[in-house]
Structure 1
Amino acid sequence: MNDQTKGIIAWIIIGLIAGLVASLIVGGAGSIIGWLIAGLIGSVVGGFLAQRFDIKLNLGNPFFEQVIVSIVGAIIVLIIAQIIT
């Protein structure tokens, strides 16, 4: 398995985790596809905000740091989605 495939799989796993946790906290995105979409969009939003505001978690594990950032982003995405609908 090459690095690109591993990266895509990791991104999907992070998206699912972030979407699931965010939907448990906020509500909404009740299916696996919904979790994945919320988590992937949340990863982009959270990553953008963390970079924009120079937020560093320094947990010692980049995977967990990305999961936390993605969860925060997914929460933001779900709140905005609930406001819109």
Structure 2
Amino acid sequence: MTTESLVIFILVGLAAGFLAGVLVRGYGLGLVGNLVVGVVGALLAGWLLPRVGVSFSVVNPLVTSIVYATIGAVVLLVLIGFVRRAR
């Protein structure tokens, strides 16, 4: 992975974390927490979605990556929210 692709990956994750925080109100971790969850969600979505057979394309590859990462971040935020509320 080149430095440029790593920076793009992190920026996509940050955008996804912000969007996931907006979409999943009440389960969020604050702005910084949501941004970190976005980066982790990008990793999760990049690994999980192809394995379950989810594949789609939106406008261009960057927008598609943001959508994938947002899906991963939303799933992660909801799971974290359930765990936090179960305690």
TM-score category (smaller protein): 0.7 to 0.9
How much has 1:81 moved relative to structure 2? 0.4
Q: Deviations over 1:21-74 (max 9, x none)?
A: 00111131312x313211111112212222112222122511111110100110
SS at match of 2:62: helix
Task: After TM superposition, list the pairs within 5 Å mapping 1:54-73 onto structure 2.
Answer: 54-73=53-72
TM-score by length of 2: 0.83
CA RMSD of aligned residues (A): 1.5
Alignment partners' CA distance in 1, 2:36 and 2:9:
11
Alignment partners' CA distance in 1, 2:48 and 2:19:
19
TM-score by length of 1: 0.84
The one-letter amino acid of 2:56's match is: L
Identical amino acids, percent of aligned pairs: 27
